Structure formats: C-alpha cells, structure tokens
Structure 1
Amino acid sequence: METATIQKNFYCGGDLHAKTMFLSIMDAKGEILFHRNIPNNPPYFLSVIQPYRHSIAVGVESTFNWYWLADTCQKENIPFFLGHALYMKAIHGGKNKNDRIDATTIANLLRCNMFPPAYPYPKEMRGTRDLLRRRYRYVTLRAESYTHIQGTFNQQAIDGVSSSDVKRKSSRADLPNHFDHPDIAMSVNCDIELSHALDPIINKIEKQVYTRAKYHDHNALSILMTTPGIGKILAFTILYEIYTINRFPSVQNFSSYCRLVKCERTSNGKYTGDGNNKIGNPYLKWAFSEIIIHAQTHSPNIKKYYERLISKHGEGIAKSIMAHKFAVAVYFMLKKQGGIQ
C-alpha cells in the first residue's frame, strides 16, 4: 500500500456527505484550528480555508460525491488528495466512529504522510466515463431480463426457445403466448417491456459516446481495437476507465486494479481465505471478461486455446484466465504503443 508524501503547514481533512461536510483543519504539530460542519458549497469552503490556503493540503475519502471539491481545489490551485476508502478504513479503524473523528483522522493521515491515495479522475473525461458506467448498468438490467425469461421457460420445461429468440425484438413479443397461466405470462411480458424500454436508451448512450467523446487518446483507442473481440464500445469503456496506462507502474498493478488476480491471505504458512476481492475497478473486470465472448468468433487460435482451457479448468476459470491474458496484452500494447500481433 502506497502513501502520499505531503509537506505543508496546514492540513484539511473532510468527511463528505450528500449536503454537508465536516471539516477539520490542523497545523503541522497537530493542533486543531477549525473543527466544524459546513455546507457543500465551494465559495463557503474557500472562505473557511482562506487563512491557511497559502500552504494547505485538502484530503477526503473516495466516496460518491468528491467531484465538486476536487474541481474547486484544482481551479484554485490547492493541493487535493483523494483517499482510498478501504485502505483508510484499515488504517484508522477504531471503536468509535463519527464525523468529527473521521475528519480529524483524515487530517492526521495527511499530516503524518500515512494517507493512502486513490486516483482523482480528471474532469474533462469524467462525464463520458460516468455515462459509460450508466450504459453498463442498463446492459446488466437488460441481460437480467433475458436470463429471467429463459429461466422461466426452463422452469416450465418449454423447449424451442433459444437465447436468440429472447434477444430478437421480432420474436420475443410472442413469448408470453407460450404460457397458460396468466401470472407467468405477465412476468415474462414485464421482462420483455423492460428490454424494449432499455434498447433505445442503450443505443442513445452509445451514439452520444461515439459523437462526443473527444478528450481521450485517439491512438490508444485505435490500438485497443486491433485486439480480436474488442469493438468500439468495449474499447471506449476500457480507455475511459484507464485514462492513461502510465498510472500503473507494472502489469501486476494493472491486473490487480482490474480485479483479475486472486487475493490470498496466509498466516504462519496457512491459507486463511480470500480477502479484499472488491478492491479495484469492477467495470474493467467486466470489460476484459466480455472480450473472450467475441474474440473466439474472430480468431480460430483464440477459440482453440479457450476450449483447451475449458476442458482443463471449467468455463468459469477459463474465462478468468483469458480475461487476465487480455488485460496483460492491453497493458503492454498501450505501454509500447503498438497493436496486437
């Protein structure tokens, strides 16, 4: 675990909430100078830190609502540090917990150079990245509706309906007619209506991304699309989640960030189970896991190798192995600025 080295005269720790933020400002000796709950308002925040801003560092935990504070600090040239939520919990986990303690602890972590940094994603690409994440959510909901429809057919032992029939608009409208029970037919019909509603939303998001995404590295996008199985939308997803491959000093760091390596815990030479499996980026894990689904239709060699892995390890582990291999390939392609061979 890395920690940030920060040398300032004042340290500001903030415990962010939806509408308010508890702020704790202390000097280099640890003496608290300001300790109060304030509204999430940029001008008010700047007025509070005005006496100290000539030499202050601001730090908060990486929660859902740090964007405005990071943008305010960047605009005003104030050093801003985003803290890794799980690592910070491991460091300062204690018996008592409240806003005052949390804000003071964050300021102390900054002051003692024990602050575990996360990556504050840049503003210019953040909106497109978040839009792609919404697309992922809608695609997941649509996939769940497809799965539920097929599961319902399996429950009733009704054959003759393939996954293509469920996904194809022209054929799925007739699927409820296969059921005699009105409630079962209604359940399937609800899934179909949800799929119908999500289709245009997903298409609209994709068109928006294609036409307005302009702050990314266009060369990196072209390199990604040389990989079998990576289409334009997957390439955009990977690129906008990574931002720049130079964030990662090694392929091991990148694989870990993508949640594609196993996290083991041992004590005294004994295995004590898995842990911290949720540290990392779930969207990159999904993207790299999706590649093999399409890659095996484009490359006979990849398909042959994937089938060998399935026969040896089973489909789930084989898919994880391929996802890791694609992540390693993408890392070195982007590092060396060259397409896949």
Structure 2
Amino acid sequence: MQLFVGLDVSSFDIKVCFLNGEGVTLSSFPPVSNDLPGATALRDAILQTIDGQTVEVLKIGLESTSVYSFHPAMFFHQDEELRALGAQVFLMNPKQIANFKKSYPDMDKTDEIDAFVIADYLRFGRFSMSVVKESQYVALQQLTRSRYQLVHQMTKEKQHFLQHLSYKCNTFQENVESSVFGQAMMELFFEKYSLEELAQMSIEDLAAYLPSKGKNGFHDPEKVAKFIQKAVRSSYRLDKVVEDSIDLILGTIIELIRTMKAQIKQIDKAITKIMAGLPNTLQSLPGIGPVFAAGIIAEIGQIERFKAEAKIAKYAGLYWQKHQSGRFTADDTSLSHNGNQYLRYYLVEAANSVRRHVPEYQAYYEKKYQEVPKHQHKRALVLTARKLVRLVDALLRNHQVYTPQGSVKLEA
C-alpha cells in the first residue's frame, strides 16, 4: 500500500487528506486541532488506515510555515510507531505547492483543497523537498538563528550609537584612532561627561582613566587621551537640554550592546556544547571557524537529507534562473530569490573567509571577478560560495578532514 498524507496547518487546526498511490482520496478525515491531542488522533487515524496492509510508501507532507508546522512535523517524525513503518515526514516550500496547484484548473482556494494538493504533490514525487531534521540539528538551528539575529541587531545598535555620538562630539571618529566600541570608550560615554568636562580634564587624568576601564589594553593611553581632547575641543557644543538627552540615549544603547554581547556569549556556549556531539569536519578548512561551521551544519542538518551537493546549493538559493527562448539564451540572469537565506548567508560569508586562506579559492574568486564589468565582487563571491558547497558536501558526507593539494574526494 502507498499512503500520502497532506496536511494544511494553521495556528489552530490541521486539515487532512489521505491519498493512495493512484490519487484516490481514501477517507474524509475531519480537521484536528493543532496540538498534542489533535496530532495524536491524526496519528491513530493513519495507523488505522494502513492496519493489516503491507506498507510500501508512507509519506506525510506539510508546508513550512514557521512555528505552526514545527510541532506537528516533529511529532510525526519522532513517533515510534510511524518510524517503524518507514514513514517519512517532509516540510515543503509553500511556493512550490502554490506553483503545483496552478496545474489544477478552476480549483477553489480552501484549506481542504490545499491539503489534497499537498498530498498529490507528495504522490508525484518530482520535487526538491526538505526532510525534517533530527532534534540536535533543530536545537542547533534555533541557537544559530538567534545568534544571527542578535549580531544583526547589535550592528544596528552600533550604527544608532555612532549617529548619536556625532551629535555629542562630531569630530570624534575622525580624530580618535581607537575603537569606539572598546571597553574604555564605552565606559567613557557611559559616564555621561559633558564636552566641557572632558575638555577640562587633564591629559594625565584621562590617560589614567582609559587603562583602568579598558583592562590595560592601550599601548599608549596618553596618545589616545590627546586625540580625545582634540576631538572634544574641536566639536560643536550642544544646549544642556539636548546634551542630556543625547547622553541618555548613548547610555541606553551602551547597555543594549553590553546585554547583547552577554547573550551572544551564552548562546556560543550552548552552540559549542551541541556541536561537540555532531559530525564536524568543516573547521579543518582554513577560514571556517566555529560560527560559520555551526551555521552551515545547523541549516543543512543531517547531510543524508540531500542526494547531492547540487541539492544543497539549490536549497541555499545559490543558483541562477535560466532565461531561454528559441535560440536566445540570456547571459545575464539574476540570482534566485528562493532558498534558505540563513544557509546562503553562512556559505557566502564562509567563502569570503576561505578565499583569504586557500589559494585555490582566491584564484577562482579573482577569475570570476574579472569575467564581468559590473557587480564583480558580489558575483565572484556567490560563485565562490557555490564552489565551496561541493567541498562542504564532501567533508560532511565522507566525514573527511580537509587537506590541501586536492586530497578531498569530490563527487563528479
């Protein structure tokens, strides 16, 4: 028996459709609530439908709709009775389902029909889909994505900080050769000194203040102190009311940045703990550290989900749509906007790092850079990332450590 179960998931319920191998609807199963009792009842209905029959294929599919589909997908994937029958659970791209539905003329838009389309899409089987990940990869993905969001939020807060710093001391960044976001500089602005107070402070006192707050990280604190005083003395003065408001904003942003840094450290510890129990040979590749390795592995999951490296590249959106009509084939086409944005981000960033450490990738990048007159860096970097996918796939699939001189086996 072949059974294809299509699930249309919302925040409060799950619409269901059972199809056999010929596309015949086996039963009209009522919607169930999107919670543990509802999923359990649906699991029991699946088992009852196949009771006493030899199961050749049992596939359960649902669209990837963030948190709504996460729990039912994991429930069916982890259920021991379904696993014993060889059940496979698939999370599918909603765009693929929507495109597939266009092949059905005059079909209404209802949740029950959507469940049928998902089941029929499973039945045809001519698609690229994402199998549900194992728990440790799901946990790692939650951590790496949260880290990604925190890092990007912190970048925005730093931009926000620099904008308001320009109000307080408009010549600071052009005069001071030390990082604005170093510990000592943060403390300096957190103390809410007025420009007049900083201008009147002696070089000796300021030079003594900086190492005490910066954990003695300055090679020449007196030189930095002179730069700071030069900046504050040449900057415009603000009205007291405006300066107080700017000081409050700067202090608030500093607290936010410090909090985010502390949160990132905690997440990094949790990521390290999970990564210790997962196959990881990516860090043997020069240029890939723990952040890039964790991000790539979290999004790929178990490498067996993908038949070949080309599937990984497509999943990440590292491919270009072909545009052809008759004898015409466009040379300049845009990068696909589909795919996993997190995996694409980590692969592109990792490629940019790897090319600085591995001559082969630097040569490839430079070759692609010279091929076109515009978008050179972006295009070359994405193509380098596409090349990197082959190596990532080989290292993870073969549990192989990277060594130079072409000793890594790549699939043809």
Give the shorter-chain TM-score range. 0.7 to 0.9
Q: Select 1:236's aligned residue among 294, 311, 323.
A: 294
1:193 aligns to 2:250 (yes or no):
no
The aligned counterpart of 2:12 is 19
Letter in 1 for 2:60: V
Counterpart Cα distance in 1 of 2:48 and 2:285: 53
1:30 aligns to 2:24 (yes or no):
yes
Compare 162-171 and 258-267 and name the one that shifted more. 162-171
Cα displacement (A) at 1:97 = 1.7
The 3 A distance-change label for structure 1 pair 327 and 104 is closer
**Contact 2:130–2:305 under 8 Å retained in 1:** no
- The 5 A counterparts of 1:122-161 are 122-150=134-162, 158=171, 160=173
The aligned counterpart of 2:110 is 98
1:68 aligns to 2:71 (yes or no):
yes
The 3 A distance-change label for structure 1 pair 58 and 212 is closer
1:39 aligns to 2:39 (yes or no):
no
The 3 A distance-change label for structure 1 pair 250 and 113 is closer
The 3 A distance-change label for structure 1 pair 124 and 305 is closer
The aligned counterpart of 1:80 is 88
The aligned counterpart of 2:46 is 49
- Count, aligned residues: 330
Q: Structure 1 unaligned segments of length 5 or more: list them.
A: 1-6
The 3 A distance-change label for structure 1 pair 193 and 299 is farther
1:58 aligns to 2:60 (yes or no):
yes
**Contact 2:323–2:333 under 8 Å retained in 1:** yes
Look at both structures and tell me which one has the larger radius of gyration over its CA atoms.
Answer: 2
Cα displacement (A) at 1:69 = 2.8
Counterpart Cα distance in 2 of 1:306 and 1:185: 45
Q: Structure 2 unaligned segments of length 5 or more: list them.
A: 193-231, 405-412
Cα displacement (A) at 1:204 = 0.2
Counterpart Cα distance in 2 of 1:187 and 1:306: 43
1:284 aligns to 2:292 (yes or no):
no
The TM-score, its normalising length taken from structure 1, stands at 0.78
The TM-score, its normalising length taken from structure 2, stands at 0.66
Cα displacement (A) at 1:277 = 2.3
- The 5 A counterparts of 1:170-185 are 170-174=184-188, 180=238, 181-182=242-243
Counterpart Cα distance in 2 of 1:272 and 1:305: 20
Letter in 2 for 1:70: A
Cα displacement (A) at 1:270 = 5.7
SS at match of 1:23: strand
**Contact 2:97–2:117 under 8 Å retained in 1:** no
**Contact 1:129–1:241 under 8 Å retained in 2:** yes
Letter in 2 for 1:160: Q
The 3 A distance-change label for structure 1 pair 164 and 224 is farther
Cα displacement (A) at 1:114 = 5.4
**Contact 2:19–2:119 under 8 Å retained in 1:** yes
SS at match of 2:173: coil
Counterpart Cα distance in 2 of 1:230 and 1:163: 30
